[in-house]
Structure 1
Amino acid sequence: MPLKFSCFENEYNKDFDVKDLADYDQIVTTYYDLRDANRRIDSFTKQITGAKLNNHETDRDELPELLHKQELCLDWK
């Protein structure tokens, strides 16, 4: 996968053209097609588009604030 799609800081980049991942998509599709277990036929771009990129808060998002309240996180915000 191109580095610009695999390294992020604090959030995923959602502003990209899925066509830029065509080469990687073919690699993932071939991998799923050729592996023995589960015989999953899928592509990388189908997995990352849609609901999976929606912004939603999870319990993990509350962790820095909780650590800060307990004075275990000194550089929060």
Structure 2
Amino acid sequence: MSTPESHPTNSTAPDPAFVARAPSYNDCLTCRIIGSGAFAATGIYALRMTRSSAPGSIIGKRIMGGLGVCFLVGSVLRWRM
């Protein structure tokens, strides 16, 4: 068998058997708990700012409600991925 260095045309052609994959990164359990908890706490805080007794305009409260939901969804995604 010949080595790839002996054929100059093979050095530029990609290997068809090689498939580039993104490296998988797995966090430890503590990192997942802290990250998910931080997202969840921020989402709950943002949702609490949408109460009728909280100061602010109605548009600002709707924006905070949207952000709260986004942070809670981020918490779930952070835990699962």
Q: TM-score, normalised by structure 1?
A: 0.33
Give the number of the structure whose residues are more often helix, by fraction. Answer: 2
Greater RCO, 1 or 2 (C-alpha within 8 Å, sep 6+): 2
Pair member with larger Rg: 2
